[in-house]
A and B are shown apart, each in its own frame.
Chain A
Amino acid sequence: MSSMIPTMRHVRGFDVARPLSIGMLVLMMLPLVFLPLASIFLFGTSQGLTSFMESLTAPEAVFALKLSMVTSFWATLFNVIFGLFAAYVLSRYNFWGRNALIVTISLPTAIPTAVAGFALLLLWGPYGTLGRFLAPHGIQTMFTAGAIILANIFVTFPLAFGVIKPVFDTMSRSLEEASATIGATRVQTFWHVTLPSLRGAIVSGALLTFARAVGEFGSTILVSGNLAGRTQTAPLYIFAKFNEGQIEAANAIAIVLALFSFLIFSVLFFARDWLDVD
């Protein structure tokens, strides 16, 4: 305990470092995060609430938001299931090429999203490696909602995996072994023993994936065709409206997405503790 005293000394009484550092933190975040976000809200509502609501309820805006939610949902569903599976395989078995696989799964984090977009075009496009065999049969994947889902899957590939795998790695195997000794099958053990302890990781992995997919822009602009009311997601809608000079319309949707990510990350912040308490 005696070693604690010197370090405690300067926090006795009023600690000036506390308000100073908190103030400094907020001050630093002000021009970098708070003010840019605030200006979206200020601009979006500057024309009055009716014009804001009008921008929000425009059929193409509503469509864009729906399309973003749906495509992100399917990408999330896939990536969570995949992430779970990949984490299971890669933390349970040791095999030749295992590290290479782990690195490959993580790659999309660092690859520019535009590269993800044109990689998909090169594969599925009419002259693409696969696309050229599909095109004569009238099968077209690019410039459809399917293309948006593929792009979302690619760019959010490592997220759920990245959250789930560490939990797998640190999980005690004694419970699973106990389960096996009392005669449970692999599936039963996974379902009743392994999965419940991964709940928190699965939910946060899913939210993270979903949030990232909803905000995806760089790859979607290349693979979707950007048709308003047909293949235009919410971020593309914002970009298109901004380019057209309809900044109020762009802002309304930007506000929705900003609030949405605030919601997701709030849930993320509280959900893990909540879910891990059984």
Chain B
Amino acid sequence: MRKRIFSRPALICGALTSLALIAGCLPQPTSDKGGLNITVYGFSIMKESLEKAVYPGFAAKWKREHGVDVNFTSSFAGSETITNQILQGVSADIAILSIERDASRLKDGGFVTSDWRTLPNKGILNKTPFVILVRQGNPKGILDFTDLAKAGVRLIHPDPVSSGGAQWSVLAMYGSELVKSERQSGGQNKELALQTLRAIWRNVISTPGSAREARTQFETGFGDALVTYELEGLLMKETGKTPLEVVIPKATIFSEHPAVVIDRNVSAAKRPVVDAFMQYLWSDEAQKAFVKFHYRSGIDPTLNQENKHLAQIETEFTIDYFGGWNRAYPEIIEGIFRDQVQRK
């Protein structure tokens, strides 16, 4: 008897394989509906405001004025993470970053050739103060950054290696001590600020990759406190899933977020719509949308009065207090935090 080469199971396998072959073509991108497509890489907390308000707002405006659809594709992660991705060649048209240092890195890499400081408000899209989120009733009695150093406090803090928010948080905690000591004694007490930062860091139980990841960990029940952007706390209160309180430190930093065009990736054909979107970001309509999502407008502070949830900050400072990112990163994030806090 001739041995059958194609037995029943083999035939079934063959049929399955050919089926898979037919299905083996790549699925159509969800944003590929005709029209223009803008790819935006944003730092972790930008998602809601962009996807729910700013993208639809601009798409409607462009459709009204030009009759063409604009679709957005985006990816959100820690500011340092998306910067590294762009430096490796992801096809981003626009990056919205947590820290200006990342804009400089993109410029040094040759990806950004235009000067974002010539954009409205020196390229700063919006800002927000750094606050402490604690569990409802504030069981650990945390009233200021220094209380995070108390024994038994478990702190969730994003990782400064990948997260811009984490770097703002380090600057907030360290700077807050400097500002307070300066106010009391007339001089910055750098030793006290370092000791405080060290003591706080000993209480850190987890360093997630981005501010949003840190928030998710906090929401799933880990930790007593989380240092993050004010708007994260307000967004969490809105969803109401995790009962929490927002603690406003006596002195804290305002984070300022730049938006940049990745010039190297933007084709001439796409340039007009990308530029129009950049201009739109600073328009009244977009700035109002950001305020609705609890950011603060830097270009038009009067807009901020429309959001009643935004807290009064007793003493505020910015990156300028440290002499800008060019100095703050090597001196504080690397010199103080990495070398004298993390490695001790």
Contact = CB atoms under 8 A, between A and B. Distances in A.
A244 B212 contact: yes
A142 B88 contact: yes
Contact of A70 (B27, B91, B220): B27
B304 to A, nearest CB: 25
Interface residues of B, number: 37
A73 interface: yes
Contacts of A125: 88-89
Interface string B178-216: 000000000000000000000000000000011011011
Interface of A: 59-60, 63, 66-67, 69-70, 73-74, 77, 121, 125-126, 131, 135, 140, 142-143, 145, 191-192, 196, 199, 203, 225-230, 232, 240, 242-245, 247, 274-275, 278
Contact of A121 (B73, B88, B209): B88
A199 B9 contact: yes
Given A227-B75, A229-B29, A199 B20 contact: no
B88 A126 contact: yes
Contacts of B215: 245
A243 B220 CA distance: 11
Interface string B274-317: 00000000000000000000000000000000000000000000
Contacts of B89: 125-126, 131, 135, 140, 142-143
A197 to B, nearest CB: 11
Contacts of B269: none
B216 A70 contact: no
B169 to A, nearest CB: 17
Interface of B: 3-5, 7, 9-10, 13, 20, 23-27, 29-31, 39, 44, 47, 73-77, 85, 88-91, 209-210, 212-213, 215-216, 219-220
B5 A192 contact: yes
A225 B31 contact: no
Contacts of B88: 121, 125-126, 142-143
23 contacts: A63-B29, A70-B27, A131-B89, A140-B91, A142-B90, A143-B85, A143-B89, A191-B5, A196-B3, A196-B10, A199-B13, A225-B85, A226-B85, A229-B31, A230-B73, A232-B75, A240-B76, A243-B210, A243-B212, A244-B47, A245-B215, A278-B3, A278-B7
A67 B27 contact: yes
Given A70-B24, A73-B24, A60 B30 contact: yes
